[in-house]
Amino acid sequence: MTTSASPPAPTVTAAAGEEFALLERLLQLYLHDVSEHAGYDVDEAGSYRYAWLGAYRHDADRHAFILRVEGHPAGFALVRAGEPTRMAEFFVLRKYRRGGVGTLAARDLIAMFPGTWSITQLATNRDATEFWRRAIPASFDECVHADGGVEQTFSTAPPKHG
């Protein structure tokens, strides 16, 4: 009898100090992937620019996380806390995709920020939309914006009793 192996459990830790250099390198891979949908170009040095990364070092409502599997970098997440909390960026290295790592990491991140959430995807990034539809650990509302982008909103807050 064979048993199916469970996906390796990812760890999700806040990026701090030297880990921002790792985050910047992972961000380049992410921006390369998403450029297919967003049309991003590299600069003359061959790098993608991400204007908000500095804010994740200093702003109290912005949180950067590194995803690891068995100690190896496996991706990152950028979260903007608030009402609603937003998953600004979420990236899993290709090696770890489609095996449950992303879903487990996403659910860990969502659990860290109970309350109302909003997660959006670019119109042409259907893989991302399908991923979030499966990964969100609660019932959600979904809308399509005028530009074709998709947004899920949901709450992980406990129900209010009146």
In a domain, 86, yes or no: yes
CA-derived radius of gyration, the chain: 16
Integer angstrom CA distances of residue 154 from 6, 45, 46, 133: 27, 40, 38, 11
Longest Cα–Cα distance of the chain, Å, equals: 59
> How many domains does the chain fold into?
1
Residue 136 lies in a domain: yes
Residue 2 belongs to some domain of the structure: no
CATH number assigned to the domain comprising residue 67: 3.40.630.30
| Helix boundaries (H) for the chain | 19-38, 55-58, 101-112, 126-135
Residue 4 lies in a domain: no
What's the pLDDT at 38? 76
d(CA 33, CA 93): 10
Phi/psi at 37 (nearest 5 deg)?
A: -100, -30
Residue ranges of the chain with per-residue pLDDT less than 70: 1-7, 158-162
- The amino acid occupying position 76 is F
Residue 5 lies in a domain: no
Q: State residue 50's pLDDT score.
A: 87
Domain annotation covers residue 1 = no
Q: What pTM was computed for the model?
A: 0.89
Residue pLDDT, tens place only, 4-25: 566 678 999 999 888 999 999 9
30: enclosing H helix or E strand: helix 19-38
pLDDT attached to residue 42: 78
> 45 lies in a domain?
yes
Q: How many CA atoms lie within 13 A of 84 on its CB side?
A: 16
Per-residue model confidence (pLDDT) at position 89: 95
Query: Can you state the angle between helices 101-112 and 126-135, rounded to 10 degrees?
Result: 60
In a domain, residue 87? The reply is yes
What is the reported pLDDT for 161? 59
Domain of residue 134: give its range: 10-155
